[in-house]
Structure 1
Amino acid sequence: MYQTLLLDADGTLFDFDAAERRAFEKTCGAMGLAYTEGFYRRYQAANAACWRKYEKGEITKPQLQYDRFAALVDFSDPAAANEAYVGFLARGSQLMPESVPVLTALKAMTPARKCCIITNGIDRVQRQRLRDSAIAPLIDGIVTSEEAGAVKPAAGFFEYAFRKLGLTEKGDALVVGDSMITDIAGGANYGLDTCLVDYEGSYGGEAPRPTHVIRRLTDLLALV
C-alpha cells in the first residue's frame, strides 16, 4: 500500500529513554557531579521545555543545546556539559525491541520499498547512532531538521524530505512516529497518511486523528 515509510527515530525505532539516561549519567561523571534520579528528572524537564521551543521555531538548535544545561545551575559550564553529553548520546544506539525484525520483514515483503528516517534530533548524533546500529543496512535514507533548514512539524521539513528522497506521490508515503505534534500533525498538514506508534496506549482520539494507530511496531506490517 505504501512504497515509502518516513519513520521517526527517537521513541519509534530507537530507545531514546535508555540512551538519554545513560548519556546524562556519563555526563555527570565527566563534569564531576553526582548522578541521581532527581537530578535526571530536572534535566528531562529542562530539555523537554527547550525542545518545545525549538519545534515552535522560538530558539535555534545551538541555543537548545546550551539552554538545557544552563537551566541547571549545577553545571558551571553548560557548553562543556552539552559537548560531553552529545558525544555520549551519539554512542547510544539502543533500539526498540521490534525495530530490527519489523524493518527486516518490511524489506522482505517489498524489496523496492524505501524505509527512511525523518528526525529533529541533532544531525551528528543521529547519523552516528544510525551507523552504529543494527538497522543501518535496512534504512534507505535519513533527513534531519538541520540539513532541511526546517523542523518537524513544519511543511518545509516534509518538502525537503520529498525532494531529497526523490518522492513525488504523497499517497505512496506513510509517516510513522510516536509524536502527535511533530509526526502526526506534521505529516497530516502536508497531506500524508500517518501512523501513530502508541506504545503506552495513551492516545485518546484527539485531533488531528492519525490515519492508523498501532500499539506495537509489528502491527505496521498489516498496514503496508
Structure 2
Amino acid sequence: MKVTILLVEDEEGLRSYIRSELVFEDYEVIAVSSGEDALAVFNQRPTDISLIILDWMLPGVDGLGVIRRIRKHYDVPIMMMTARDYVGDKVSGLDAGADDYITKPFETEELLARIRVILRHATQKNISDRKYRAGSLSLDTKTRQVFIADNEIQLTQREFDLLLAFMQHQGEVLTRDDLLDLVWGTSFEGQINIVDVYVRYLRNKLKQPAGSQLIQTVRGVGYRLKENEDEA
C-alpha cells in the first residue's frame, strides 16, 4: 500500500519538482497550491493522508492556519517547508503542531531523509498506541486503561507496564529476567524477586471466577499470560 503525501506549495515550479521527486520514490502525491485547497482535500480523506508537506507562506489560509485547524481533530504528521529560517519562526511552527521543519533551499536527499524519519516515527507511534485483549481482559496503551469485561481495573504505572509485557507476549513463557528487562530495564540493580511481588499484585487485581489465574506460573521457568479463558 502506497504512502499518500499531501503537498501544499503555491510556487508552481517547486511544487511540480517536489511532486516528481516524490512520485519517483513511489509515494502517492496530492499536490495543491493553497491552504483552503489543502484543508478541503484533507477533510475529504483524512485517514488516507500519511504526511502533509506544508509551505508556510500560502495565499489565503497560511501554513500555520492549516496546522491549527487540522490539529484540532487529527494527529497526521506535518512537515513545514519554508524560506523563513529565523529560530522564532521555527519555534512557532513546531509549537503550532508541526513535526518537522525544513528550510528552503534544501537538497532533495535531505527532504527524502526527513520524510522517512517522520513516517518511521508515525509507524512506531501507531504500533505503540493500540489495544490488547486476552479473553475478557483488555488493555489500551493510548488511554492506559485496563478492563475486565466492563469493569475498569485500577493499576499503578509499574503494574500496567508489567501487564502490558504479558499482553504483548501472550502465551509465551517469560522468565523473571525477561520481565525485569521489559519492565524495569536492563540497568535495574534491585532484587529479582520484585517480579514475583508485582505478579502477586496483578493477580490480586485480576481475580477470575473459581480461583483461576490469567497469569500462570510455569514451575522452574517463569510466568505466562493465558491466551484464552478456557486454558487450564
Q: TM-score, normalised by structure 2?
A: 0.36
Relative to its length, the structure with more strand (as a share) is: 2
Relative to its length, the structure with more helix (as a share) is: 1
Q: TM-score, normalised by structure 1?
A: 0.37
Kindly name which structure, 1 or 2, has the bigger radius of gyration based on alpha carbons: 2
